[in-house]
Amino acid sequence: MTRQTVDIDRVKQLIVQCLNLTDVQPADIADEDPLFVEGLGLDSVDALELVLGVEQEFGLQIEDEAVGAAALASARALTDFINQRLEAQARTASDA
């Protein structure tokens, strides 16, 4: 079984690209800083765009608002969410 993991730099790049943050570089996003309100100051429209970006890039769904709030709390939280879901998919595929 090949384990796919995503590093935080790739997630930061995804955030910048999905949201077209022309005045922000991936390196400007601190790992633990909140993405919403303070931190990057994202809003609900940005959340939808980011959820769509995660779905398109990694084939993962963020099922509901509660999962989304936790997953989109910071770049680190999003990276952890993606890696946990990819690992679960890999385990399910290997069990099949």
Q: What is the CATH number of the domain that holds 21?
A: 1.10.1200.10
pLDDT at 76: 98
Range of the domain at 91: 8-95
Q: Is residue 60 within 8 Å of 85, Cβ to Cβ?
A: yes
Q: How many domains does the chain have?
A: 1
Work out the number of other CB atoms within 10 angstroms of the CB of residue 25. Answer: 11
54 located within any domain = yes
pTM exceeds cut of 0.75: yes
1 located within any domain = no
20 located within any domain = yes
83 located within any domain = yes
pLDDT at 1: 41
3 located within any domain = no
CA dihedral 84, 90, 92, 96 (to 10 degrees): 180
Residue with tokens 């998919």: 89
Q: Which residues of the chain have pLDDT under 70?
A: 1-3, 96
pLDDT at 93: 83
76 located within any domain = yes
